[in-house]
Chain A
Amino acid sequence: MTAEAPVADAQRQRVLDHAAGVWSASSRYAVVLLLLLGIFAYFSMTQPDFLSQANIENLLTSSSILFVVSIGMTFVVLTGGIDLSVGSLLALSGIVLSTLFNDWGLAAPLAVLLTCLIAALIGGAINGVLIGKVGLSFFVVTLGTLSLYRGIVNIWSDTETTYITSGFVDGIGFGKLAGVPYPVWIMVATYVVGLVVLRWTYFGRDVYAVGGNIAAARLSGINVARTLILVYAIAGLCAGIAGVIQAGRLGAASPLVGESTPLDAAAAVLLGGTSFLGGVGGVTGTAVGVLFIGTLQNGLSIAAVSSFWQQVVTGAILIVAISIDRIQQQGGLRRRRGTGL
Chain B
Amino acid sequence: MSASASPSSPSAPLLVGEALHKRYGGVHALRGARLAVRAGEVHALVGENGSGKSTLLRILSGQIQADAGTITLDGRPAGFRTPTDALRAGIATVTQETTLAQDLSIAENVFLGHRMAKRGPVIDWRGTRSRALAALQRLGLDVDPSLPVRRLRPDQQQMVEIARALSIDARVLILDEPTSSLTDDEVAALFGLVRKLRREGVATIFVSHRLKEVFDLVDRVTVLRDGRTVAEASIEELDRPKLIHLMVGRALEEIEPPPAQEREGTAALRVRGLTLPRGFAEVDLEVAPGEIVGLAGLVGAGRSELLEALFGLHRPTAGVVEVNGAEVAFKHPRQSIRNGVAFVPADRKLHGLVLEMSVRENLVMASTSRLSRARRPAARRELPIVRSSFDGMHIRAHSSRVPVATLSGGNQQKVVLGKWLATEPRVLMLDEPTRGVDVGAKSEIYRLLFDVAQSGVGILVSSSENPELLTLCDRVIVMFRGRVAAELSRDEATEARIAHFAGGHR
Q: In the assembled complex, which residues on chain A have CB atoms less than 8 Å from the CB atom of B350?
A: 213, 215-216
Chain A residue contacts of B55, Cβ below 8 A: 341
User: In the assembled complex, how far is the CB of residue B6 from the closest CB belonging to chain A, in whole angstroms?
Assistant: 32
CB-defined contacts of B408 to chain A, threshold 8 Å: 341
Cα A175 to Cα B352 in complex, Å, equals 51
Tell me the count of chain A residues lying within 8 A, CB to CB, of chain B: 39
**Interfacial chain B residues near A178, Cβ < 8 Å:** none
B224 to chain A, nearest CB (A): 12
Q: Are A331 and B391 in contact (CB under 8 A)?
A: no
Interface residue B433 (Cβ < 8 Å from any Cβ of A): no
- Check A221–B24 contact: CB distance below 8 A: no
Contact: A21 with B64, CB < 8 Å? no
A1 in the interface (beta carbon within 8 A): yes
A200 to B368, CA, bound (A): 14
Question: Is A220's CB under 8 angstroms from B406's CB?
Answer: no
Would you call A208 and B24 a contact (CB within 8 A)? no
Who on chain B is nearest to A24 by CB? B403
Interface: B29 (CB within 8 A): yes
Interface string of B358-398 (1 = CB under 8 A from A): 10010001101111111111000000001100110000000
Asked whether, in the complex, the Cβ of A200 is within 8 Å of the Cβ of B333, the reply is no
The answer to whether B366 touches A220, judged by C-beta atoms less than 8 angstroms apart, is yes
Confirm or deny: A2 has a beta carbon within 8 angstroms of a beta carbon on chain B: yes
A203 to B374, CA, bound (A): 6
Contacts of A20 in B (CB 8 A): 399, 401-402
With A and B bound together, what is the CA distance between A335 and B55 in angstroms? 12
Q: B307-340: contact bitstring with A at CB < 8 Å (1 yes, 0 no)?
A: 0000101000000000000000000011011100
Bound complex: CA A339 to CA B96 (Å): 14
A1-B390, A334-B64, A341-B27 are contacts. A201–B375 as well, Cβ < 8 Å? yes
Q: Does A312 contact B (CB under 8 A)?
A: no
A203 to B373, CA, bound (A): 5
Report the Cα distance A229→B344, complex, angstroms.
28
> With A1-B386, A212-B356, A217-B354 as given contacts, are A338 and B64 in contact (CB-CB < 8 Å)?
yes
Instruction: Say how far B271's CB is from chain A's closest CB, in angstroms.
Output: 20
Q: Which residues of chain A are within 8 angstroms of B29 by Cβ–Cβ distance?
A: 341
Contact present for A216 and B374 (CB under 8 Å): no
What mask results when residues 315 to 341 of chain A are scored 1 for a CB within 8 Å of chain B, else 0? 000000000000000010011011111
The answer to whether B351 touches A335, judged by C-beta atoms less than 8 angstroms apart, is no
State in angstroms the CA–CA spacing of A229 and B117 once bound together. 51
Residue B353 at the A interface, CB < 8 A? yes
Asked whether any CB of chain A lies closer than 8 Å to the CB of B208, the reply is no
Residue B12 is within 8 A (CB to CB) of chain A in the complex: no
Whether A200 contacts B376 by the Cβ 8 Å rule is: yes
Q: Is the beta-carbon distance between A200 and B377 smaller than 8 angstroms?
A: yes
List residues of chain A with CB within 8 A of the CB of B377.
Answer: 200-202, 205
Q: Is the CB–CB distance between A17 and B333 below 8 Å?
A: no
Q: Which residues in A have their C-beta under 8 angstroms from that of B333?
A: 218-221
Bound CA–CA A127/B402 (angstroms): 34
Q: How far is the CA of A28 from the CA of B24 in the complex (A)?
A: 18
Given contacts A201-B375, A334-B65, contact A220 B24 (CB under 8 A): no
Using Cβ atoms and an 8 Å threshold, which residues of chain A touch B64? 334-335, 338
Q: How far is the CB of B166 from chain A (nearest CB, A)?
A: 24
Task: Determine the chain B residues whose CB is within 8 A of the CB of A223 once the complex forms.
Answer: 334, 369
Interface centre among A203, A217, A220 (most CB of B within 10 A): A220
Instruction: Return the CB mask of A278-293 against B: 1 if under 8 Å, else 0.
Output: 0110000000000000
Instruction: Using A216-B352, A220-B419 as known contacts, say yes or no to A341 and B374 having CB atoms under 8 A apart.
Output: no
Contacts of A203 in B (CB 8 A): 373-374
The CA-CA distance from A20 to B25 in the complex, in Å, is 14
Least CB separation from B347: chain A residue? A215
Question: B384: nearest residue on chain A (CB-CB)?
Answer: A3
The answer to whether B356 and A202 touch across the interface, beta carbons within 8 angstroms, is: no
| Residue interface bits B411-448, CB-to-A below 8 A is 1, else 0 | 00000000100000000000000000000000000000
Contact partners of A208 in chain B: CB under 8 A: 354, 356-357, 361
Residues of A within 8 A of B370 (CB): 221
With a CB–CB cut-off of 8 A, which chain B residues contact A55?
none
Interface string of A204-243 (1 = CB under 8 A from B): 0110110011011111111100100000000000000000
Q: How far is the CA of A331 from the CA of B405 in the complex (A)?
A: 18
Inter-chain contact B354/A209, CB cutoff 8 Å: yes
- For the complex, would chain A's binding face be called helix, strand, loop or mixed by DSSP majority? helix
Given contacts A20-B399, A202-B371, A202-B373, contact A279 B58 (CB under 8 A): no
- The residue of chain A having its C-beta at the shortest distance from the C-beta of B397 within the complex is A1
The interface bits of chain B over 49-66 (1 if a CB of A lies within 8 angstroms of the residue's CB, else 0) are: 010101100100001110
> A223-B334, A334-B64, A340-B27 in contact; A13/B354 too (CB < 8 A)?
no
Complex contacts, B54 vs chain A, CB 8 Å? 341
Residue of B nearest to A200 (CB): B376
Docked Cα-Cα span, A217 to B355, in Å, equals 11
- Expressed in whole angstroms, the minimum distance between the Cβ of A135 and any Cβ of chain B is 14
Is the pair A279, B354 in contact by a Cβ cutoff of 8 Å? yes
> B373: which of A13, A17, A206 is its contact (CB, 8 Å)?
A206
Contact, CB under 8 Å: B387 / A331: no
Q: How far apart are A3's CB and chain B's nearest CB, in angstroms?
A: 6
Chain B residues with Cβ below 8 Å from A222 are 365, 369
Q: Do A220 and B63 contact each other (CB < 8 Å), given the known contacts A21-B401, A280-B356? A: no
CA of A209 to CA of B27, assembled, Å: 25
- CB of A13 within 8 A of CB of B399, answer yes
CA distance A216 to B404 in the complex (A): 13
Q: B390: shortest Cβ distance to chain A, in Å?
A: 4
| A164 CB to nearest B CB, Å | 34
Which chain A residues border B183 with CB–CB below 8 Å?
none
A337 touches B63 (CB 8 A): yes
How far is A17 from B400 in the complex, measured between Cα atoms in Å? 8
In angstroms, how far is the closest chain B Cβ from the Cβ of A27?
Answer: 11
* B482 on the A face (CB < 8 A): no
Interface: B343 (CB within 8 A): yes
Complex Cα distance A272/B54, Å?
A: 33
Given contacts A1-B390, A279-B357, A338-B64, contact A220 B365 (CB under 8 A): yes
A75–B273 Cα gap in the complex (Å)?
45
Residues of A within 8 A of B52 (CB): 341
A205 surroundings in chain B (CB, below 8 A): 357, 361, 365, 377
- Say yes or no for B458: interface residue by CB 8 A criterion: no
Tell me, rounded to whole Å, the shortest Cβ–Cβ distance linking B25 to chain A. Answer: 7
Specify the chain A residue showing the minimal Cβ separation from B376.
A200
B178 CB-CB contact with A under 8 Å:
no
With A17-B401, A20-B401, A203-B374 as contacts: A213 and B63 at CB distance below 8 Å: no
Give the shortest distance, in Å, between B396 (CB) and chain A (any CB): 11
B376 surroundings in chain A (CB, below 8 A): 200-202
In the complex, chain A residues whose CB is within 8 Å of the CB of B79:
none
* Contact between B375 and A209, CB atoms less than 8 A apart: no
The smallest C-beta distance from A335 to any residue of chain B, in angstroms, reads: 7
Q: Which of B313, B334, B338, B372 contacts A202 (CB 8 A)?
A: B372
- In the complex, chain A residues whose CB is within 8 Å of the CB of B50: 341
Could you list some 20 contacts between A and B, CB below 8 A? A1-B399, A20-B402, A200-B376, A200-B377, A205-B357, A208-B356, A212-B356, A213-B355, A216-B351, A216-B354, A217-B365, A219-B333, A219-B352, A219-B366, A334-B65, A337-B63, A339-B405, A340-B24, A340-B27, A340-B405
User: Top 9 A-B pairs ranked by shortest CB distance?
Assistant: A221-B369, A212-B354, A203-B373, A17-B401, A220-B366, A220-B365, A221-B337, A213-B354, A221-B334
Using A200-B377, A209-B365, A220-B419 as known contacts, list a sample of 5 further A-B pairs with CB atoms less than 8 Å apart, ordered by residue number in A: A18-B401, A208-B356, A213-B354, A215-B350, A280-B356
